[in-house]
Amino acid sequence: MREYAGNLVIDNHDQATYTTSWAPLIQRGDSRLLVFMKKLRDGISACYSAQGRWRHGYWGWQEVHHGTEHFELFLGTLWKLDPRDAGTATQFLDAAEHLGNWVPEVPAWFDWDTGLFRALHFGTERVGDGPGESLNVPDHFRCVNLALLAHAVSGEARYLELARAHGWRWAMAICDGEALPAGLQPEGPVYTLSSEADTQYHAFAGMAGA
């Protein structure tokens, strides 16, 4: 807290994740840490919204691994620590409501017919449509976790339906195959990534996009 009090926002996609380790102290009654986390929450939201990097509560364009981290880890932990705080719930649901294409002005992230996400990269401004983008990878489980958290926050059944729809595709691929799938395509599981797909996947798994 002393180190970051004067510079809460450091312009990194997962800059608040370190605070999730404070949960046991907060649960013991150290409310100073919870106050700090809420200031951090609001500072990050204000900064990225003003910069235009966040639109309608989520990145305009980001890959699934890093783009989901702030919402799944930081906001998810913060909501569990204080579920009565409307500010956390509002920010979390502003992002999560895009999972199932429930905001008309935002491009569709999820294909309900296949139970798969449309791309490796998606956001509130565009969704990836280039080579290899249709591959769903284990990182898309972050979206399942977001949906389950959103169901807990809102009580809305649509989030649970999405988690089931996507989780079912993975469950069937795992149970029916002789090996663990490396990814899922609309036509079925993939057990070995192509050289191009492997390079693309490990490139974004190692570093967040701009």
Per-residue pLDDT tens digits for 179-200: 999 999 999 999 988 877 777 7
In this prediction, residue 208 carries a pLDDT of 44
Integer Cα distance of 55 and 155 in angstroms: 24
Integer Cα distance of 205 and 195 in angstroms: 15
In this prediction, residue 140 carries a pLDDT of 97
Q: What sign for the dihedral angle of Cα 136, 205, 106, 76?
A: positive
Integer Cα distance of 127 and 124 in angstroms: 8
The answer on pLDDT for 147 being more than 80 is: yes
Q: What sign for the dihedral angle of Cα 147, 117, 62, 209?
A: positive
Mean pLDDT of 117-146: 94
**In the structure, what pLDDT confidence band is assigned to residue 168 with cuts at 50, 70 and 90?**
very high
b/e per residue 39-64 (b: at least 16 CB within 10 A): ebbeebbebbeeeebbbbbbbbbbbb
Counting residues of the chain whose pLDDT is more than 70, the rounded percentage is 97
Q: Model-level pTM? A: 0.92
How does DSSP classify residue 140? Answer: G
Mean pLDDT of 106-135: 95
